[in-house]
Amino acid sequence: MLIVQKGNHSQYLQYVLAGLSDLPSLQLPLFLVFLLIYLITLTGNLLILLLIFTDSHLHTPMYFFLGTLACLDMSYSSVTVPRMLFDLLRERKIISVPACITQTYFFLCFCGSEMAVLAVMSYDRYIAICRPLHYMQIMSWNVCVQFVSITLVFGAVHSLVHVVFLTKLTFCNPNDLQSFFCDLPQLLHVSCSDTFINVLLVFLLGILFGAVLLGITFYPYITISTTVLKIPSKHTRAKAFSTCSSHLTVVSIFYTTALFNYLRSNMNDHYAEDKVASVPVVFIVGIENYEN
Q: Which residues face 4 on adjacent strands?
A: 11
Number of residues written out for the chain? 292
Render each residue's pLDDT in the chain as its tens digit; 292 residues.
Answer: 444 444 455 556 777 787 777 777 888 998 999 899 899 989 999 999 999 999 988 899 999 999 999 999 899 889 989 998 988 888 778 888 889 999 999 999 998 999 899 999 999 999 988 888 899 899 999 999 999 999 999 999 999 999 999 998 888 766 677 778 888 888 888 888 888 899 888 888 878 888 888 888 888 888 888 888 887 877 777 777 777 777 888 888 778 777 766 655 545 455 555 555 556 555 555 555 555 5
Domain 3-291: CATH class, spelled out: mainly alpha
Angle at 138 between CA 132 and CA 141, to 5 degrees: 115
| Residue 274: predicted pLDDT | 54
Q: d(Cα 106, Cα 112) in Å, to the nearest integer?
A: 10
Q: Domain residues of the chain, as ranges?
A: 3-291
pLDDT in tens, 188-231: 888 888 888 998 888 888 788 888 888 888 888 888 888 888 87
